[in-house]
A = this chain, B = another copy of it.
Amino acid sequence: VSRVLLTGASGFVGSHTLTALAEAGHEIHAFSRGEPPPAAERVTWHRVDLTNPADAELALGQVAADALVHMAWYVEPGRYWQARENVVWVEATLRLLRAFIAAGGRRAVIAGTCAEYEWSLESYREDTAPLAPATMYGVAKNATRQVAERLAADAEVQLAWGRVFMPYGPGEPRERLLAGLITALLAGEQARVSAGTQVRDFIYVQDVARAFAAILDSSVQGAINVGTGFGHPIAELIELAAQSIGRPELVEWGAVPQRPGDPARLVADAGRLRQEVGYTPGVELREGVERTVAWWRERLA
């Protein structure tokens, strides 16, 4: 059991990670920019804007956490791939890590991304796949990692960097693919999608959260893929959702073009996560989509 500082704690992946860390028995200090939710067992909320240097340093000094799980970043759907706000988060992340180290922190796990890799490779193995990010988001995360790894090594603080593939599930912002699709179909509206031929490593958000909690409790350092190791065409995700809702006729296939530069295939090599951390994602795509549909049905009821 550690005193864990979790940033981005009210975000899509962060909120599930909060639950996973609490289930693992940690004492959690949760940072969030917005109004904190009601207090829960083992969780102390702090309202902190990490892009504000004074705010961030003050909060870090007060918490004096042993461990850091850093998930906060600029993630505005549609915009975050190319937005300049990514640069602000390079700065905020390095400042956060410095303050965490200065306050006596011992182990940090930071959320990276599959967008750090050169895209459309056959295999994405942490120690061999070339890093050549095509997006501002990928460049910013990859550069942050280079400095963070060196800083941590110098300070003798452990650092693991979880490269997240394609999370989906309850709590996803409505502007993202699956949430937008489900809410449209549940409302009986047409859903305009691409042909969906691109293959992706979709990972249920609870599995992402549990993977991060498992990485934290391991001694693994450096880059580690957070994916299932299995690829599915985007069309399969869409079909599973449409079938689960029972409205496949509302899907307008090919009505939107593929995003320029979108890679054909993004599937993790999940060997390191499985073998060195001992974590295997447990929720298969069909089940994950069904759970997500059920969550939206309840929420919109």
A146: which of B97, B142, B150 is its contact (CB, 8 Å)? Answer: B142
Q: Is A291 an interface residue (CB 8 A)?
A: no
Residues 51-93 of A, flagged 1 when their CB comes within 8 A of B and 0 if not, give 0010000000000000000000000000000101001101100
What chain B residues lie within 8 Å of A144 (beta carbons)?
A: 143
Q: What number of copies of this chain does the assembly contain?
A: 2
Question: C-beta contact mask, A116-155 vs B, less than 8 Å → 1, else 0?
Answer: 0000000000000000000010011011101100110011
CB nearest neighbor in B for A146: B143
Interface 1/0s, chain A 262-293, versus B by CB < 8 A?
A: 00000000000000000000000000000000
CA–CA, A155 to B84, complex, Å?
9
Tell me if A98 counts as interface (CB < 8 A to partner B).
Answer: yes
Q: From A153, which residue of chain B is reached at the shortest CB distance?
A: B136
Q: How far is the CB of A88 from chain B (nearest CB, A)?
A: 7
- Are A94 and B98 touching (Cβ within 8 A)? no
A89–chain B nearest beta-carbon distance, Å: 10
Contact of A154 among B53, B98, B136 (CB under 8 A): B136
Interface check A95, CB cutoff 8 A: yes
- Taking CB atoms, residues of chain B closer than 8 Å to A53 are 53
A84 touches B154 (CB 8 A): yes
With known contacts A143-B147, A146-B143, A147-B139, A88–B84 Cβ distance under 8 A:
no
Chain A interface residues toward B at CB < 8 A: 53, 82, 84, 87-88, 90-91, 94-95, 97-98, 136, 139-140, 142-144, 146-147, 150-151, 154-155
6 shortest interchain CB distances as A-B pairs: A143-B143, A91-B91, A139-B150, A143-B146, A143-B147, A53-B53
Given A87-B94, A91-B94, 11 more A-B residue pairs with CB atoms under 8 Å apart are A82-B154, A84-B98, A87-B97, A88-B98, A90-B147, A91-B91, A139-B147, A139-B150, A142-B146, A143-B146, A143-B147
9 contacts between A and B (CB under 8 A): A84-B154, A87-B97, A87-B147, A90-B94, A91-B95, A136-B150, A139-B147, A140-B147, A143-B146
